[in-house]
Structure 1
Amino acid sequence: MEKLVVDGGRPARSEPMPPAYPGGMMLGQEEAEASGAVVLDQSPFRYYGPNMRYAVQQLEDMISAYAEIPYVLGVTSGTAALVVALKALGVGYGDKVIVPANTFLATPGAVVCSQAVPVFADVDDSLNISPESIDKLCEDDEVKAIITVPILGNLCDMDAIQSIAKKWGIPVIEDIAQSCGATYKGSFAGTIGDIGTLSFQMNKVLTAGEGGAVITRDANLFERAVRYHDQGSFREKSRYGIVSDDEENAFVGQNYRMSEVTGGVLVEQWKRLNGILGVMRARYIAIQQTLAAELPGIKFRVEPDSTGYTGSHLGMILPNAAIANQFMEYLYAENIQVYPLYGGKPVFMLPQLLHQRTADVKGSPFAYPFRKPVIYTPDSCPNAVSLMPRTMYLPISPLLTEQDAVEIAAGIIKVYRSLNISEQKG
């Protein structure tokens, strides 16, 4: 067995892995020219200007065609997309929304900023929201929506989730911020529930630094989304063949309009999507198959759809947190970067959520007198508490070569065997 670097051996790789920004590392001349053209045409606002390029419209049309979904709305961020989706569904003060314990703060944060309160569902071995946990939470009739989050490109069990949602009559929002381009049984992730949201923030599959989108098949939800993102206006009814009376249907909204500069960058990024996914999936498969063949005891995240993932991250579940941390430390020395997502802690452990703190001095929306009070405790979701600190994610960049995949797999095998992980118990 080769010596570990920590024992004086040679590293598996001669240099660190590329930064974990799939779309960001592919930004190039095309994006620079597209954004520059918008500026030079002096028309960065999406709805009017002296020399419009209609980049946001073009992006929406590209997403619509790719995802095979009729209604797409570009917005300022993934968080904005969640708020717009919640308001399209009419979620607000006095409502509860089911959110997975394993997600970024933006997911429950958007719920709170919509004046509703998140209730947290546990995860299963996919590290995604557990259908069984959703079912139990839906017994509370104050729950008005479910948000699913396919973590780091791995799909949720949408058949089971949709069945439960229909049983209880509760709409589903698919937050696919980390999974743009993933598919579930052939359907674009985000198109299976009632409404979906995308993010184009820096570490996402595609990026313009910020940006987001809302997608749906429901014309009524789409109109409400458009109105909420544009101060209650619906400027492009004729584009969609929608007849709507402003006097009757307008309501107060906010400003989450995507700019033409962002749209221009994302049009060029969207053209790269298949290429990015193709490389990441190929490297993911090569590394995973090598590890599975050489390390029979290794445990990966469960994949509800073993072909539809983005391939952006390979999740390895270790016996316990102490071994996981040692595994990470030794791999770093080998120039292979792995990490536990969100520091290995469920999102409700963040102090602003655990202690229910908001900018509102009156404690809204948590101050609402729910029939079943919402209380968060460190042991609320035991599977998430157990799995998150001992799941290590290997980011897979579209810049990785076949040789990189060989070296990464060899380094993981070396560390795994040296630590005798297959003999360890949780």
Structure 2
Amino acid sequence: MMDPLAIRGGKPARSTPLPPNYPGAVLMGEEEALAAAEVVKARSPFRYYGIEGRHAVETFENTMAEKLQVPYVLGVSSCTAALITAMKALGIGYGDKVIVPAVTFMATAGAVVCCNAVPVFADVDESLNLAPGDLERVYDEDVKAIITVPVLGSPCHMVPILEFARRHNLYVIEDVAQSCGVTYKGRTAGTMGDIGVFSFQMNKILTSGEGGAIVTKRADLFERAVRYHDQGLFRQKERYGIETDETAAFTGQNYRMSELTGAVLVEQWKKLDFILEGMKQRHSSIVSRLRSELPSIRLRAVIDEEGDIGSSLGIILSDAGTAQAVAGALGAENISAFTLYGGKPVYMLPQFFHQRTADKDGFPYNYPFKNPVRYTEDMCPRAVDLLARTLFIPVSPLLGDQDEDEIVGGLVKVLVGLNVLER
């Protein structure tokens, strides 16, 4: 006999909640505090000059470049800033369309609109990442780029996406915000397309509270990115050995990373391998045990198991109602579970669905495209279906053997106790 469910008066599987879903933040400590304090004591929080400059952002950029084996890394103020800067580097703007996966955070599509372009949404596969087979449906001559988003630590199927992009002469932007450390066929996410962007916001794999980065192998794109993020300037030319033509300078924004952010990220990057190893090993063990205990369990598909960083466990249930019932029962067992983005594709957010912007006359949606952009609720049916019935359970790098036992035991207890699955 199994113990009664906690929602029915039974003893919870865990006596305390799981660690917070902030992989980088839960490992913050004295190292980050001292690094930030050094910047303050040096009275030099601005990256390009100061009283006693510590060059923390430059050190962070060099560290990340070495880790990813790319020549160019640019620290910026957020991943949204990175997305906008990346698209500006690629020359994307008014009259252009950009393909965005239906499952992503609002910033991915929002950055497209902020670049005065229009997002068109492609459906997902069972990995909940962009489905390469749906690209043809949304492609037309106005599309200039594809944004890929490896959601919650699991890689995208990049080979067919890159092949499609080459065939149609499209740029590929990799939005790796949620998935620092993900690989695909041995290649690091963010380094396979034309340009990649990373996030260091609070709940990301590494964090400085806010912050982002741009990576590329192309000097021309890097120069444009540097200029756009720094009011059109390109300082530190000697550092990169890039010949520049000042007559080609253009107006930019201020998306610069501060030295305080850079200092914290230098220390966070030292912890990346530990974080990834902990999550991957624990995730793999949990999956193996669940499949043994519950042979009929349906887990989120993984395109490349070696490349998945194991930051979350995705369980696909029969319908949205069952997913919500299981989430509630797991919560009572002190095992947090959630449906991503409220169970709805990003295009269902009102600002996108109704094409609302802060600009007048519907700009940039008012461009006279040959094929007008229209959004409908059912245009990405797999995203609509899967998001509402897929539950995610965070896998913290801090989980121990007892945590694993309680997670597996609690999941079996709930799924069997609610008659969702049989043992």
Task: Describe the SS at the equivalent of 2:99.
Answer: strand
Q: Structure 2: which 5+ runs fail to align?
A: none
Large movers: runs of 4+ above 3 Å: none
Q: Deviations over 1:190-227 (max 9, x none)?
A: 00111000000000000000000000111111111111
Partner residue in 1 for 2:409: 410
1:308 aligns with 2:282: no
1:272 CA drift (Å): 0.6
- Amino acid in the other structure paired with 2:349: L
SS in structure 2 at match of 1:84:
helix
Map 1:104-253 to 2 at 5 A: 104-138=105-139, 140-247=140-247, 249-253=248-252
Residues in 1 aligned to 2:291 and 2:237: alpha-carbon distance in whole angstroms: 53
Counterpart of 2:121, as a letter, is F
Aligned to 2:337: 338
Equivalent position of 2:347 in the other structure = 348
How far apart are residue 245 of structure 1 and its match?
1.3
C-alpha deviation, 1:361, in angstroms: 2.1
1:264-413 to structure 2, matched below 5 A, reads 264-413=263-412
After TM superposition, give the deviation of residue 134 of structure 1 in Å.
Answer: 1.5
Q: For residues 164 and 413 of structure 1, what CA distance do their matches in structure 2 show?
A: 42
CA distance, structure 1, for counterparts of residue 238 and residue 318 of structure 2: 57
Shift of 1:181: 1.0
Q: Structure 1, residues 88-135: CA drift from partner, whole Å, max 9, x if none?
A: 110000100000110000000000000000000000000001101113
Counterpart code for 1:221: L
TM-score by length of 1: 0.98
Q: Distance in 2 between matches of 1:22 and 1:135?
A: 37
Superposed displacement of residue 309, structure 1? 1.4
Q: CA deviation digits over 1:306-344, x for unaligned, max 9?
A: 011121111111111011111101100111001000000
The one-letter amino acid paired with 2:331 is: Y
- The equivalent residue for 1:254 is 253
Partners of 2:188 and 2:67 lie apart in 1 by 8
Name the CA distance, whole Å, in 1 between partners of 2:63 and 2:307: 20
Q: Which amino acid aligns with 1:421?
A: V
CA distance in 2, matches of 1:318, 1:133: 24
Deviation at residue 396 of structure 1 after TM alignment: 1.0
Aligned partner letter, 1:205: I
What amino acid sits opposite 2:147 in the alignment?
Answer: I
1:421 counterpart SS class: coil
Q: Match of 1:58? A: 59
- 2:12 corresponding residue in structure 1: 11
Secondary structure, aligned partner of 2:421 = helix
Q: Give 3-state SS (helix, strand or coil) of 1:359's partner.
A: coil
Q: What stretches of structure 1 of length at least 5 have no aligned partner?
A: none
Q: Percent identity?
A: 58
Q: Deviations over 1:68-102 (max 9, x none)?
A: 11110000000000001101110000100000110
Partner-residue secondary structure (3-state), 2:362 = coil
Q: What is the identity, as a one-letter code, of the residue corresponding to 1:179?
A: S
Aligned CA RMSD, in angstroms, stands at 0.9
Alpha-carbon distance in structure 2 between the residues aligned to 1:330 and 1:278: 30
- How far has the Cα of 1:406 moved from its partner? 1.1
Structure 1 residue 91 and structure 2 residue 96: aligned? no
Deviation at 1:185, TM superposition (A): 1.4
Q: Alpha-carbon deviation of 1:237?
A: 1.6
Shift of 1:61: 0.5
Aligned length in residues: 421
